[in-house]
Amino acid sequence: MSRIAALVSGGVDSSVAVHKFITRYPQQKNKVHLYYLKIWLEDELSFLGDCPWEEDLYYVRKIAAQFDIPYTVIPLQKEYQEKIISYTVDELKKGATPSPDIFCNTKIKLGAFLEYIDGADTVITGHYARIYKDDTTRVHLLTAADRVKDQSYFLSMLSEEQITLLTFPLGAMQKFQVREYAQAHALSTMHRKDSQGLCFLGKIKFRDFIREHLGVQEGSIIDERTGKVLGTHEGTWFYTIGQRNGLGLGSGPWYVARKSLEENIIWVQHAERIQEIASHEVFFSNPHWIRKIPPSLKGACFVKIRHGPALVAAQYTLHEERGVASLTESDCGIAEGQYLVFYTPFENKELCKATQYFSSVAPHEESPESPVYECMGAARIFVPQ
Active site amino acids? 104, 199
Sign of the dihedral through C-alpha 349, 351, 356, 358: positive
CB 123 within 8 A of CB 166: yes
**CA angle, 280 then 282 then 374, to 5°:** 100
Q: Peptide bond before 363: cis, by omega within 30 degrees of 0?
A: yes
8 Å CB contact between 33 and 18: no
Eight-class DSSP state of 111: I
Tell whether omega for the bond before 253 is within 30 degrees of 0, i.e. cis: yes
Which of 13, 291, 1, 12 is closest to 123 using CA atoms? 1
Cα 190 from chain centroid (whole Å): 23
Q: How far apart are CA 10 and CA 75, in angstroms?
A: 16
Residue 43: which residues within 8 A CB-CB, separation 6 or more? 51, 53, 77
Q: State the DSSP H helix or E strand holding residue 374, giving kind and residue range, or none if neither.
A: strand 373-382
d(CA 120, CA 143): 24
**In 121-223, which residue ranges form alpha helices assigned H by DSSP?**
160-165, 175-184, 206-214
- Cα 70 from chain centroid? 28
